[in-house]
């Protein structure tokens, strides 16, 4: 396991920094789970983060609190959209396992708000 993944063990949030066309970064706290030598997270398919990742898959990530305040070292990574249903199911299983109590509440909220179909899963591969 890489240093980045060791740092994230037991943590609940990471701050993912994606990059605009002009190179400036935008930081967003997300739920994540470790999947082997990578990280997985989900987001809304209509978010600006997704638009930025389509253009530039390079990211930085760091441990943070729920509000996004970084509490550790930044690491570089490469982000990719999970397109196969089997990959999505695996990512969802990892997230469900990591957020045992909160996950069903999150899914219920997404279902009630009719946003459940708007979610997409991403994989971050650390490059350091």
pLDDT value at residue 124: 96
Domain that holds residue 59: 3-126
Q: What is the mean pLDDT of residues 12-35?
A: 94
Q: Rounded to whole angstroms, what are the CA distances from 127 to 59, 71, 77, 89?
A: 10, 20, 5, 24
Pairing of the two strands 75-81 and 119-126:
antiparallel
Q: How confident is the model at residue 88 (pLDDT cuts 50, 70, 90)?
A: confident
Mean pLDDT, rounded, for 36-62 = 93
Higher pLDDT, 52 or 44: 52
Helices (H), the chain: 3-8, 48-55, 85-98, 102-112
What pLDDT is attached to residue 108?
A: 53
Specify the pLDDT at position 109. Answer: 52
Whole-structure pTM value = 0.83
Q: Which residues pair with 120 in a beta bridge?
A: 43
Provide the number of structural domains found in the chain: 1
Residue 62 contacts residue 15 (beta carbons within 8 Å): yes
**CATH number reported for the structural domain that contains residue 16 in this entry:** 2.30.110.10
């Amino acid at each position: 396991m890489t240093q980045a993944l060791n740092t994230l063990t037991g943590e609940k949030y990471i701050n993912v920094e994606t990059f605009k066309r002009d190179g400036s970064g935008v930081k967003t706290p997300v739920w994540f789970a470790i999947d082997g030598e990578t990280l997985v997270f989900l987001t809304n398919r209509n978010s600006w983060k997704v638009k930025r990742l389509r253009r530039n898959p390079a990211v930085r990530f760091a441990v943070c609190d729920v509000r996004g305040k970084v509490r550790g070292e930044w690491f570089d990574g490469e982000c990719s959209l999970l397109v196969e249903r089997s990959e999505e199911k695996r990512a969802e299983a990892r997230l469900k396992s990591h957020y045992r109590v909160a996950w069903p509440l999150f899914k219920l909220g997404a279902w009630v708000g009719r946003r459940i179909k708007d979610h997409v899963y991403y994989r971050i591969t650390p490059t350091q």
